[in-house]
Amino acid sequence: MKSDFTNELERTLTGDSFAAPPSHILEGVDEALALREFPNVPRTIYSELWHIAYWQEISLDWVTGTPTPNPGTAAAGFPSLEDVAAESWLQLCARFFASSEKLAGVARDSSRFEQLIVCPTPAGHPSRHMTVREQLESATAHNAYHFGRIVLMRQMAGSWPPKSGGFTW
């Protein structure tokens, strides 16, 4: 059977790989659930997805040679109240899926995997150099961590698994 994916790295960004695909993880999440706060959980589903999209966009900049600084603090990589007010849940999902597709497009081009790129670090630290493949691997690991947090919040809300399916073990 022919796959729609050229490699597993691409699949980890947009498809069904080691976990449910992002489209399934976000399926059925409405604005109310996205913004719901849970006791002893520092972020909302909205904040987690905003953070994923933020870092995907920075990763895209780095792998395309656009010099984008690393945020000075961890908090800068999460949305402010103004950010949340300015972008609806549906707009955020669209932005996330658009950047995912672009990053998957980079993953499709294995000829660039060994190209060295500069990944700026916070002020006072030397810039890191890594290959395009390493940056893609870093992005997929980062996404997996934060999507795991989203799944856990959905479980806490009683909204897991989604209709399209998701791992339940």
pLDDT tens sequence across 58-87? 999 999 999 888 888 889 999 999 999 999
pLDDT of residue 4: 65
Positive or negative, the Cα torsion across 47, 50, 56, 59? negative
How many angstroms separate the CA atoms of 156 and 169, rounded?
A: 15
Residue 128 has pLDDT above 50, yes or no: yes
Q: Is residue 11 part of a domain?
A: no
Q: Is residue 7 part of a domain?
A: no
Residue 169 has pLDDT above 70, yes or no: no
Q: Is residue 16 part of a domain?
A: no
pLDDT of residue 168: 61
Closest by CA position to 44, among listed 36, 53, 52, 56: 36
Phi, psi of 82 (to 5 degrees): -65, -40
Q: Is residue 15 part of a domain?
A: no
Residues in the chain: 169
Q: What is the CATH number of the domain that holds 91?
A: 1.20.120.450
Question: pLDDT band at 1, cuts 50/70/90?
Answer: very low
Over range 123-128, report the average pLDDT.
Answer: 83
Give the E-state strand segments of the chain in sequence order.
116-119, 128-131
Q: Is residue 6 part of a domain?
A: no
Q: Is residue 168 part of a domain?
A: no
Over range 97-107, report the average pLDDT.
Answer: 96
Over range 133-149, report the average pLDDT.
Answer: 95
Phi, psi of 83 (to 5 degrees): -60, -45
pLDDT of residue 72: 81
Contacts of 7 (CB under 8 A, 6+ apart): 107, 108, 110
| Structural domains counted in the chain | 1
If one compares 17 and 160, the residue with the highest pLDDT of the two is 160
Closest by CA position to 70, among listed 124, 150, 3: 124
pLDDT tens sequence across 14-50? 877 667 899 999 999 999 999 999 999 999 999 999 9
| Domain limits for position 71 | 30-156
What is the CB-side half-sphere exposure of residue 96 using CA atoms within 13 A? 25
Among 46-60, 98-112, 154-168, where is mean pLDDT lowest? 154-168
